[in-house]
Structure 1
């Protein structure tokens, strides 16, 4: 197979370009099931790239099931690969093109996904899967992943929990859906939520029958005094909070407020749902322990791999509170867990050390990128306040008085820059000062300064 079948186009990393070219060749029938692919060294020589580029592309497609790699037999197009497309089909809802300068929040660095480690974990999963894993999987999740998650929560989040109490979910939203349904079935009809906050979890709670009640947030996290007042007013006995790193304000819940929140939950026989949002990424100190470590009898813990790996992994976890039967009822009979082989691969990734190596590398990369972003903001937008802990994948940029955040976002989009107005995450507080939530997770380092310069042009024009 020469470069007549695959090419490497500019404007994107070489291994991504090769992966896309190979994928297109399989989908369009130019490479058919069973066709052999050249050895990585030979294809690298033909294309004038490093061997690493080829092995990364091969590995990604093996993980997807498009290619099959066997020791001694080389790499081939999988016999059960995608069906050949006779003509490309236009999507019903065409996706918007990704901006060249992505300063949107909530997306990790997808260029540094540990693809090779994931391929190895998939192989381990396939070779180690038992008949029980494949035929009658436990709806709470395969034991190997639940044990791996329990071990990890103990070491990194100070959460001591038996593996049998861990429920594997399709992500944090799935976990929140299960909890909300259980609470609603037990008689809860309101849930206290941070304002501002990530809308997805409060939306799924509302869909399950729990009316969101907004509670303000400040530099010390959710205002527990206001939360108690809102609970007294509405009768709410459930609260959804992000104690480790509040989104989008970027605060950690102060120690006194953590204790006050737990006292409230115990006094009303309530439940606190802890969204452990990007808690692994703290750059100025070790991450604080999960709130559940303080009150396992009252706190349910939600987590996922969407920020540490990628949203597409679709794996999360839920640890219900120990002493609240209403929060545990029915958790193992709702949507069920992700596919067993996918769970086993995640277990291998977590247990084998590859996940920890990825996190160490990611923390270093994000810490440097955050520092570079702050320097660029001071250079191009001097004097504008930037808030948020040295943590996570975003900061909050305050805009000059009178400058409309939505207009800035539109003008930035014309400059091929994506930013998100802070008001997108508010429930109330319509009179709050204009600000932008500026992400740096999935931005190429070499483009960071130019991205901020273009954003500064949008702010200047809006003003």
Structure 2
């Protein structure tokens, strides 16, 4: 399995040293690169702190050989004295060890603590493992490449570009996103009809206001589905109607009888079931939208993460006038960036743009320019490949761990995304007792029942298990701890 870029650099056993700081695949060196850019007066302390944290967190594993002080100083663009002082300080503290003529290495003394933190981070206070879905691995954020794009943009961005932006978004970003989405997701992407938003959450709210202004009062939602959509539409005055799924997607009969004229869908990788809408069901859904003069909101939340074959293309490409397409960088980069997009049908565009203008006057120009630069120079494609390798490995680790510690478990929705559905054998039920024991043991879980209205009558435990935020080792350990917690006592 290809390396995800999050594992520690090779240890002394292999005779290798950590790669140079400029290599974007080594997260530890990216931390040092950021520290090297600190103000001159505090640069030494920042470098020591970043190096200490890289060792403590496990990004630099025990036994890793560090570059010579002269080499690291040259790569970071700092004085050799700063690096030498950092090495000496951390050696005195026990984080590093050195020998005359033998170089500098990460000390074995921090091995146990580093593994414990690396395997289970990030986790909520008091939790020993967090399997809740929806969170990517934030340590995969490409700090060095993003920092380089930021510096490049600042150096050449004209002054006028820092004024109030076009509420649709920076033209350069809309052009870059349109090309990216057409190439990767098969959408019909016109930059003039693309809006940059503060994530899918804002895109959904904007659409809610536009629909409300057209007289709609309810929107259909997949059941099971994402509970966040209901609260977002409620903020714009719209109610929601749960609509059941079958093996091919939204069931057409209940949809037709519901009386709604707009519906939220996740057709490429339904959340949380993991199914991909069949070609026939996609066609039926679009025919329904045309027949009621309505719209389909396509939340393409993780369309790029498909592991065993090419990703399924977006629904929007089949009918751009009936599908409102949304997506973001929340899973591929980081949710904290608050950068997403909305591709609007022509008849909704002016209303959506005006609502965006009055809501916040547009997203920050500098952030948009950095993302445009990152996409244009190939950084976004590289980031997606890096994440796909890491998440495929973690998916495989989860499936293996469940088979080992919960034999007989049925796992579905594994072809794509950042979570799976696990249906445990009846002997592990009832579900309330299972969840209670998991919580008592500090294992954070989310049952499938939290995502819909259905309450199965059988005794099976059904879980939506997120795996992106944990390393393979953390997944294996977390599943083992869960099995120990729920075993009969």
For 2:309 and 2:351, locate their aligned partners in 1 and report how far apart those are by CA, in whole Å: 33
Whether the 8 Å contact between 1:399 and 1:405 is mirrored in structure 2 is: no
Corresponding residue for residue 337 of structure 2: 313
Residue aligned with 1:205, SS: helix
1:295 to 319, 330, 335: 319
Corresponding residue for residue 347 of structure 1: 372
For 1:283 and 1:5, locate their aligned partners in 2 and report how far apart those are by CA, in whole Å: 39
Corresponding residue for residue 33 of structure 1: none
For 2:409 and 2:275, locate their aligned partners in 1 and report how far apart those are by CA, in whole Å: 19
2:58 to 1, 13, 26: 13
Whether the 8 Å contact between 2:298 and 2:323 is mirrored in structure 1 is: yes
Whether the 8 Å contact between 2:323 and 2:345 is mirrored in structure 1 is: yes
Whether the 8 Å contact between 1:198 and 1:247 is mirrored in structure 2 is: yes
- Counting only pairs closer than 5 Å after superposition, residues 179-328 of structure 1 correspond to structure 2 as 179-231=207-259, 236-324=260-348, 328=352
Corresponding residue for residue 370 of structure 1: 395
Shift of the 451–127 alpha-carbon distance from structure 1 to 2, 3 Å rule, reads same
Corresponding residue for residue 412 of structure 1: 438
For 1:300 and 1:135, locate their aligned partners in 2 and report how far apart those are by CA, in whole Å: 29
1:45 to 63, 87, 112: 87
For 2:171 and 2:48, locate their aligned partners in 1 and report how far apart those are by CA, in whole Å: 44
Shift of the 319–459 alpha-carbon distance from structure 1 to 2, 3 Å rule, reads same
C-alpha displacement of 1:408? 2.5
Residue aligned with 1:137, SS: coil
Residue aligned with 2:426, SS: coil
Corresponding residue for residue 102 of structure 1: 130
Higher helix share: 2
TM-score by length of 2: 0.75
* Alignment RMSD (CA, Å): 2.8
C-alpha displacement of 1:221? 2.2
Matched, 1:115 2:160: no
Shift of the 124–190 alpha-carbon distance from structure 1 to 2, 3 Å rule, reads same
C-alpha displacement of 1:249? 0.6
C-alpha displacement of 1:324? 4.7
Corresponding residue for residue 140 of structure 1: 168
- Per-residue CA deviation, residues 23-44 of structure 1 (Å, 9 max, x unaligned), is xxxxxxxxxxxxx998774355
- Per-residue CA deviation, residues 97-155 of structure 1 (Å, 9 max, x unaligned), is 16342212111112221111110111122123222320121111111111111111110
Corresponding residue for residue 174 of structure 1: 202
For 2:350 and 2:196, locate their aligned partners in 1 and report how far apart those are by CA, in whole Å: 19
Matched, 1:441 2:468: yes
For 1:420 and 1:280, locate their aligned partners in 2 and report how far apart those are by CA, in whole Å: 24
Whether the 8 Å contact between 2:408 and 2:424 is mirrored in structure 1 is: no
Matched, 1:455 2:489: no
| Structure 1 spans left out of the alignment, 5+ residues | 17-35, 54-94
Whether the 8 Å contact between 1:279 and 1:287 is mirrored in structure 2 is: yes
Residue aligned with 2:346, SS: coil
Whether the 8 Å contact between 2:176 and 2:372 is mirrored in structure 1 is: yes
Shift of the 326–141 alpha-carbon distance from structure 1 to 2, 3 Å rule, reads closer
Number of aligned residues: 397
Whether the 8 Å contact between 1:244 and 1:277 is mirrored in structure 2 is: no
Residue aligned with 1:107, SS: coil
C-alpha displacement of 1:52? 13
- Per-residue CA deviation, residues 32-76 of structure 1 (Å, 9 max, x unaligned), is xxxx998774355333569999xxxxxxxxxxxxxxxxxxxxxxx
TM-score by length of 1: 0.79
